[in-house]
Amino acid sequence: ATLPLVDPDAARAELDRALDDLGMDGVLLPSGVGPDLIGAERFDSVLAAMNDRGVVIHLHPTKSHIGIPNLSPAVVDFPVETTRAIGSLLASGALERYGNLTWVIAHGGGCFPYIAGRVARSDGAEPFTTTAPQGTLAYLRRMYFDVAVTCHPNAFPSLRTVTDIDHIVFGTDYPAFSQQDVDEAIAFLVNEAGFTDDELDAIGSRNIKPLFPRLTADMEAAG
């Protein structure tokens, strides 16, 4: 379910409707609304309500309020917005306060895996001693990352240094990503990424199934 973060009261109401009435397993959240990233105080009540219910969240970037002239937001803005969103969750203390949430980050976490070591240099100093006392990498290792638009030899090494195979899940970005793009991404995973057959099975479906139990049960019942 996609929650209308522009209106936190409506977002909380939609959360209850999605989980209780529609039987959904999780929610989709944008990286922010306008200049406010997901870790902003205005979204605290929504994160708290989801934390109470142990919600699985797919975090996907939205168009930056800044932008770059003559360049599609999908090229640079989206991965940067994802990076800024993770940074805001760390710096605001949201990841520490709402530890019952499960985050699935789109596009391999944007640029964040690449700069994780740089961010971790803030560990042990304010504000991170208060907002992220477990350390940057500890919070990252609890997250899941999908591989949509990440299946490239320049991107994968950084992702694999901040998480393990059990926290990498399949994603395609289809239909924004064309079928040819999807086919090429799958070919990269199978032939170039260096995964074993068991690791490919984990990324392809095994890792994500426990996060979406009702959907998994419906799929297995359907054969």
- 216's torsion region: left (phi>0), alpha (psi -120 to 50) or beta? alpha
Nearest alpha-carbon partner for 104 in 26, 177, 52: 26
Q: What's residue 37's pLDDT?
A: 96
Can you give the pLDDT at residue 115?
97
Residue 81 has pLDDT above 80, yes or no: yes
Nearest to 85 by CA among 124, 148, 30: 30
Q: Name the fold adopted by 8-222.
A: TIM Barrel (3.20.20)
In this prediction, residue 84 has a pLDDT band, given cuts at 50, 70 and 90, of very high
| Share of residues in the chain with pLDDT > 70 (%) | 100
Q: What is the mean pLDDT of residues 97-111?
A: 98
Average pLDDT on 52-76 reads: 90
pLDDT of res. 170:
96
Residue type (1 letter), 54: G
Query: Which residue is associated with the tokens 């477990």?
Result: 134
pLDDT level of residue 175 (50, 70, 90 thresholds)? confident
Is the pLDDT reported for residue 216 higher than 90?
A: no
pLDDT > 80? residue 223: no
Over the stretch 154-174, which tens digit does the pLDDT of each residue have? 888 899 999 999 999 999 998
Q: With left for phi above 0 and alpha for psi between -120 and 50, is residue 54 left, alpha or beta?
A: left
Of all residues in the chain, what percent carry a pLDDT higher than 90? 83
* pLDDT tens digits, 8-41: 999 999 999 999 999 999 999 999 998 999 999 9
Distance (Å, rounded) from C-alpha 114 to C-alpha 38? 21
Confidence of residue 74 (pLDDT cuts 50, 70, 90): confident
What is the residue type of 12? Answer: R
Instruction: Note the pTM of the prediction, 2 decimals.
Output: 0.94
pLDDT for residue 67 = 80
User: What is the pLDDT of the chain when averaged over all its residues?
Assistant: 94
